Structure 1
Amino acid sequence: MERMQGEQPSRRELVAAMFSSEFVEDGIDPDVLRRVHAGEHEEWLTALDRSGVFDKETRAELADLWRREPRELLEALLADADDVARRRCLAAWASLDHAADDPGQAQIG
């Protein structure tokens, strides 16, 4: 969806601008993917706090959203990923989802 001129970027767009290129730059780290999936979002929340871009209320809303729907953070992190990297990451995410339903099946890498 394209924004109208003068319209403010969404929170997801801002998060993507801050983190996406770094997330995909050297290949997607399976450990980072596991942490995002598991709800371990402190490193991103700390970076948002340090950036000064988001106020305390917005950071709390993002923390709550990511806690409920970690895929929201994943989608922002994948904004700069190419199609192949995105597909691989989403396949690994699906594996993590499956493993959450059936512990002992978590094989990503």
Structure 2
Amino acid sequence: MAYRKLGRNSSNRKALFRSILTSFFKYGKIETTVTKAKEVAKHSAQLITLAKRNDLHARRQVMAVLVDETITKKLFEEIAPKYEGRQGGFTRIYRVGPRRGDAAEMAIIELI
């Protein structure tokens, strides 16, 4: 499986995505770089698909990724039921232009 390394080792990358995904499900949308947004879209689709199963094993798999237990509860009780009839395409990415300072291409990723 191909993925973006983002200039980090595996443990730093895992921690980064755990925190980004937790914030993403908490607020429903976040602003980040385009490459991180594309990776977050991929990971969040996997977590939403797990949450749609709504069994104990899926809940434990999601808890292994997300940092906060209340966010896991929100994912299973509020977010996943909205996408019950949808097979994919849970997120939308908007490009918002370069970041001031290092000119990194920024994007807003949100739940549809």
TM class by shorter-chain length? Answer: 0.3 to 0.5
- Flag the structure with higher strand content: 2
TM-score normalised per structure 1: 0.34
- Flag the structure with higher helix content: 1
TM-score normalised per structure 2: 0.33
